[in-house]
Amino acid sequence: MRIDIISVVPQLLESPFSHSILKRAEAKNLLHVNLINLRDYSINKHGQVDDYQFGGGAGMVMMCEPLANAIDDLTQKNGKYDEIIYMTPDGLCFNQKAANRLSLKENLLIICGHYKGIDERIRQQYVTMEISIGDYVLSGGELAAAVVVDAVGRLIPGVLNDETSALFDSFQDNLLAPPVYTRPADFRGGKVPDVLLQGNPKNVDEWRHEQSLQRTKQRRPDLLEGEL
Ligand code: 6GU
């Protein structure tokens, strides 16, 4: 998969993909994240990419031309994108199902917004998907884009091995993950449940499923309702 990310602060995105699982995904050639500085497509020598909003009001708006020129140039170089994603707090809320769906694509473009956001006409003419990562406001789309790339990247077939398998992740089956334990079997009086020490895989599976259900009922009952 190739993911191109357009940003006015691409430096914010250099570190998240240089470690751990996503670094391995890059090393295995399963994922390529490519950062594009929007200022390279600025309309003038001052590097301008934003302007005052029509109708007045505080805050700048990211202009049409730099974004359109960047998207056109990238599309010409790299082929048509499967999705052009705009990161915005007024987008649809990202979840595991969206991550699963995106992990099957080949070619994604992510636009990170700043200031008051991007000119509405770019959303109408180019953007195919608008994503928010939750009901709070970030100062830019970059950290949200990093969240999406991480959640999607680890699901690309071949990125995870048995040890890091996504099969038992929280949310993968709309349930929260069960509690986990490692040595010692007794930590300051806190004991590991017997069933995990006894080594009967069927009992362990049943216990984990029961714990998952209990945890989900207690903490996230919404996950158990309204599923298709
Ligand atoms: Cl995608 N962007 C910004 N700026 N804030 C957010 C967000 C995105 N998702 C939640 N808050």
Q: In the chain, where are the structural domains located? A: 2-153, 170-224
Distance 155 CA to ligand 1 centre (A): 22
* pLDDT above 70: residue 228: no
Nearest-atom number in ligand 1 for the CA of 132 is 9
Q: 13 CA to middle of ligand 1, Å?
A: 15
In the prediction, which pLDDT does 177 show?
94
The dihedral over CA atoms of 84, 90, 93, 99, expressed in degrees to the nearest 10, equals 20
Arithmetic mean of pLDDT over the chain: 94
Atom of ligand 1 nearest to the CA of 94: 9
- State the average pLDDT over residues 135-152: 97
Q: What does pTM read for this prediction? A: 0.93
Mean pLDDT of all residues in 180-209: 98
CATH homologous superfamily for the domain 170-224:
tRNA(m1g37)methyltransferase, domain 2 (1.10.1270.20)
Assess whether pLDDT exceeds 60 at residue 227: no
Q: State mean pLDDT over 161-165.
A: 70
Distance CA 31, CA 108 (A): 11
Calculate mean pLDDT across residues 29-38: 97
- For the cut 60, the answer to whether the pLDDT of residue 46 exceeds it is yes
134 lines ligand 1 (CB under 6 A): yes
- Is residue 170 predicted with pLDDT exceeding 90? no
pLDDT of residue 164: 66
Q: Among the atoms of ligand 1, which is closest to the Cα of residue 87?
A: 1
Contact 50, 60 (CB under 8 A): yes
Angstrom distance (rounded) from CA 34 to CA 14: 10
The topology (CATH level 3) of 2-153 is Alpha/beta knot (3.40.1280)
